[in-house]
Amino acid sequence: MTTQEQTIIPIEVGKLFGGVEQFRNEGYRLVQIGCTKVGDVFEINYSFDKDFVFKNLRITVTAETEVPSISGMYWGAFVYENEMHDLFGIQVRGMNIDFKGTFIRTAIQHPFGVSISKGEKP
Partner 1 sequence: MTKQIIIPFGPQHPVLPEPIHLDLVLEDERVVDVIPSIGYIHRGFEKLVEKREFTEYVYIAERTCGICSFIHGMTYCQGIEKIMNIEVPERAVFLRTVWSEYSRMHSHLLWLGLFADSFGFENLFMNAWRIRERVLDVMEQTTGGRVIQGACKIGGVRRDISGEKLDEMKKGLDGIEKEIEGLTTVFLRDDSVRHRTKDVGVLSKEDAYHLGAVGPTARASGVDIDLRKTGYAAYGKLKLETITESGGDCYARCVVRSRELFTSMDIIRQAIGKIPEGPIDVKVTGTPNGEYFTRAEQPRGELVHYIKGNGTKFLVRSRIRTPTLTNIPPLIRMLQGCELADVPVIVLSIDPCISCTER
Positions touching partner 1 (CB under 8 A) are: 1-4, 6, 8, 29-32, 34-38, 45, 47, 52, 54, 56, 74-76, 78-80, 83, 86, 97, 99, 102-106, 111-112, 115-118, 122
CB closer to partner 1, 37 vs 68: 37
Q: Rounded CA gap, 101 and 91, in Å?
A: 10
Task: Report the nearest approach of partner 1 to the CB of residue 94 (Å).
Answer: 17
Q: Rounded CA gap, 119 and 11, in Å?
A: 37
Angle, CA 98 vertex, CA 13 and CA 69 arms, to 5°: 20
CB closer to partner 1, 13 vs 37: 37
CB closer to partner 1, 5 vs 64: 5
CB closer to partner 1, 36 vs 91: 36
Task: Report the nearest approach of partner 1 to the CB of residue 54 (Å).
Answer: 7
Show the beta-strand stretches assigned E in 11-97.
29-38, 41-50, 53-61, 66-68, 91-93
Report strand pairing: 53-61 vs 41-50: antiparallel
In terms of DSSP H, where are the helices of the chain?
16-25, 78-88
Task: Report the nearest approach of partner 1 to the CB of residue 16 (Å).
Answer: 18
